[in-house]
Structure 1
Amino acid sequence: MKGAKSKTETRSSKLSVTKKPAKGAGRGKAAAKDPNKPKRPASAFFVFMEDFRETFKKENPKNKSVATVGKAAGDKWKSLSDSEKAPYVAKAEKRKVEYEKNIKAYNKKLEEGPKEDEESDKSVSEVNDEDDAEDGSEEEDDD
């Protein structure tokens, strides 16, 4: 067929699929996490998991699967009565109270703002570069 268009030429641009950006892609960068911020306390189940992992590893030394340990711990936790869970709940509450105290102190420190003793946002190399630039200009003036 003379003058016939190929299949790729006949497709209109209206039929093409446009991909939308992924969720959250349009937003700005997330704020950097502060390494000094206190970590949230573990729940009663995770306090239980700390003890359970040790006993499970002793009973099943060849088992390396994290999923198996988690599944066994979940089943055991569900089978425990409230009185058996009480020590773990108490430990979790104690950690929660300590966390709340630490987070209040952390937030208070943030409100006060950075002190003059603390490092600035500039890295050590940036500070050294500024010092080098100042030293270089003074040497040129001495000549």
Structure 2
Amino acid sequence: MKGGRSKAETKRTDAKLSVKKRGAGAEKAGKKPAKKAKATKDPNKPKRPASAFFVFMEEFRKQYKEKHPNNKSVAAVGKAGGDKWKSLSEADKAPYVARAEKRKTEYNKNLEAYNKKIAEGPADDEESDKSRSEVNDDEEDEEEGSGEEEEDDD
């Protein structure tokens, strides 16, 4: 057999190319574990304050829209704002930094108040505990009542 393979060579090559089959348990073990569900965010939690750049961008967007009313691109506004921010000196950035610091102190106060409120626990839980005990009391009353009814029938 010129140019052909012998049966022994074919078996060795096929063995190398063949895919090993795993059992059902081994297949699952190789997979990544499922992602955990994200915890739901509390809508009452205070939002983080804007940085000095974003305080600057609030003002810059208004100015940019006045100069370029036909521009609908958010990316163009962001790019122009970023370029402008980079070109500002530290003295020019100072008012935006001061406003950002003020927002940050307000945020910290609000966050402390929020954390205290969470630590105390919501009042709704206390009411639900009362309702649970009332439900349990009702079940106990029914059990006692059923025994008394049998005695009354005699």
> TM-score category by the smaller chain?
0.5 to 0.7
Q: How does 1:53-92 map to 2 (within 5 A)?
A: 53-92=61-100
In structure 2, the residue corresponding to 1:14 is in which secondary structure? coil
Q: How does 1:40-51 map to 2 (within 5 A)?
A: 40-51=48-59
Looking at structure 2, the residues matched to 75 and 15 of structure 1 have their Cα atoms a distance apart, in angstroms, of 57
In structure 1, the residue corresponding to 2:91 is in which secondary structure? helix
- Give the greater-gyration-radius structure (CA): 2
The equivalent position to 1:14 in structure 2, one of 2, 8, 20, is 20
Query: Which consecutive unaligned segments of at least 5 residues does structure 1 have?
Result: 1-10, 121-143
In structure 2, the residue corresponding to 1:57 is in which secondary structure? helix
Looking at structure 1, the residues matched to 127 and 18 of structure 2 have their Cα atoms a distance apart, in angstroms, of 59
**Alignment-mate amino acid for residue 121 of structure 2:** G
In structure 2, the residue corresponding to 1:34 is in which secondary structure? coil
**TM-score normalised per structure 2:** 0.61
Looking at structure 2, the residues matched to 41 and 53 of structure 1 have their Cα atoms a distance apart, in angstroms, of 18
Identical residues among aligned pairs (%): 66
Query: Which consecutive unaligned segments of at least 5 residues does structure 2 have?
Result: 1-16, 129-154
Looking at structure 2, the residues matched to 91 and 41 of structure 1 have their Cα atoms a distance apart, in angstroms, of 10
The equivalent position to 2:106 in structure 1, one of 88, 98, 101, is 98
Looking at structure 2, the residues matched to 27 and 67 of structure 1 have their Cα atoms a distance apart, in angstroms, of 32
* Distance apart, 1:29 and its partner CA: 1.3
Looking at structure 2, the residues matched to 65 and 118 of structure 1 have their Cα atoms a distance apart, in angstroms, of 51
In structure 1, the residue corresponding to 2:45 is in which secondary structure? coil
The size of the alignment, in residue pairs, is 106
The structure where helix makes up a greater share of residues is 2
* Distance apart, 1:28 and its partner CA: 2.3
> 1:30-59 deviations in whole A, cap 9, x for unaligned?
111000000000000000000000000000
Q: Which runs of structure 1 show a deviation greater than 3 angstroms over 4 or more consecutive aligned residues?
A: 18-21, 116-120
The equivalent position to 2:118 in structure 1, one of 110, 113, 125, is 110
* Distance apart, 1:114 and its partner CA: 1.0
Q: 1:15 to 1:52 in 2, by over 3 A?
A: farther
Q: Are 2:27 and 1:29 aligned?
A: no
**Alignment-mate amino acid for residue 107 of structure 1:** N
